C-alpha cells in the first residue's frame, strides 16, 4: 500500500537512496560488532532488537548509544574514545558478512537505471565501510555518486550531503528525490528542498515512519519506482 501527500504530482529527474535500513538490512553486522566491542571492554552484550533502535546517525552515535544502553544516553569521553576504534575494527571484520538486501531493492535499482534516472547513494556510514559493502551486495554499479558519512563534515539530517549529491549530478533539489527510512532522511530532504519517500521496514530509531513529513510511504523500493516513474517530468 502506498500513502502519498497533497504535494503530488512531483517532478523527479534523479534519485538518491539511503543504505542502512533502506537498501540493506545491516543490523546483523552492526549488532555483532557492537557486542564484540562491549565484550572487549568488559561489558555485557545487548539484544539485537535494542541495537536496531540505535542505528541512523552514524557509527559514533551507535557506539555511544551501545555504551549507554539507551537511545539518549551519554558516556564519559574517555570511555567513548577507547571504544570507538574497537568498534570500527570489529565492524570492519564483519561488514557485509550477514547483511542482505531488502526485498525489491535490487529490482527497484534496476528499474530506475533502465528508465534512465541518475542514482546516488547517500548514507551516514563511513566511506571505508560503504564502498566495500556496496560491492559485496552487487549494487555499486547502479550509483554514479556515493556520498558517505565522512565525505563532508556534515551528516544527515544536515542537508549538506543531499545538496552535494544534487550538485554532483547536476540536478536541482526540487527534482532530486530522496528515498530513505528515517527521520534523518526526512529532515535532510526537507531542509535541502528535495521530495522524500520513506519505506516502512527501516530502522528510524524505533519510531513509526508514518509520523514523518514525507511525500510518500512505500513498502519497498520497487513499489517506490512506480510512483517515481509517474512523477518524472
Q: What residues are labeled active site? A: 18
Neighbour tally for 46: CB within 10 Å? 16
Cα separation of 35 and 138, whole Å? 27
Beta strands in the chain (DSSP E): 3-4, 14-17, 24-25, 100-101, 119-122, 145-147, 176-180, 196-199, 216-218
Neighbour tally for 77: CB within 10 Å? 8
Residue labelled with grid coordinates 577507547 = 82
52 exposure class (CB count in 10 Å sphere: 0-12, 13-18, 19+): buried
Residues 6 or more apart from 172 whose CB is under 8 A from it? 166
Residue 100, beta-bridge partner list:
25
Cα separation of 217 and 229, whole Å? 16
Q: How far is CA 168 from the centre of its chain?
A: 19
CA nearest neighbour of 49 among 183, 173, 205: 205
DSSP designation for 12 = B
Amino acid at each position: 500500500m502506498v500513502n502519498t501527500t497533497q504535494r503530488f504530482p512531483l517532478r523527479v529527474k534523479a534519485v538518491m537512496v539511503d543504505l542502512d535500513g533502506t537498501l540493506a538490512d545491516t543490523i546483523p553486522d552492526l549488532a555483532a560488532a557492537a557486542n564484540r566491542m562491549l565484550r572487549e571492554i568488559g561489558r555485557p552484550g545487548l539484544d539485537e532488537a535494542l541495537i536496531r533502535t540505535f542505528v541512523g546517525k552514524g557509527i559514533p552515535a551507535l557506539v555511544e548509544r551501545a555504551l549507554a544502553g539507551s537511545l539518549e544516553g551519554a558516556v564519559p569521553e574517555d570511555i567513548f574514545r577507547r571504544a570507538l576504534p574497537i568498534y570500527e575494527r570489529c565492524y570492519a571484520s564483519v561488514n557485509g558478512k550477514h547483511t542482505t538486501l531488502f526485498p525489491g531493492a535490487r529490482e527497484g535499482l534496476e528499474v530506475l537505471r533502465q528508465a534512465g534516472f541518475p542514482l546516488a547513494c547517500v548514507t551516514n556510514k563511513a566511506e571505508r565501510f560503504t564502498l566495500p559493502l556496496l560491492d559485496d551486495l552487487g549494487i555499486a554499479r547502479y550509483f554514479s555518486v556515493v556520498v558517505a558519512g565522512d565525505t563532508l563534515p556534515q551528516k544527515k539530517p544536515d542537508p549538506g550531503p543531499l545538496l552535494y549529491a544534487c550538485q554532483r549530478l547536476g540536478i536541482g533539489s526540487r527534482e532530486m528525490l530522496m528515498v530513505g527510512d528515517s527521520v534523518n532522511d526526512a529532515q535532510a530532504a526537507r531542509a535541502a528542498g528535495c521530495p522524500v519517500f520513506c519505506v516502512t521496514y527501516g530502522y528510524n530509531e524505533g519510531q513509526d515512519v508514518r509520523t514523518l513529513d514525507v511525500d510518500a510511504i512505500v513498502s519497498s523500493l520497487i513499489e517506490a519506482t512506480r510512483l517515481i516513474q509517474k512523477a518524472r517530468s
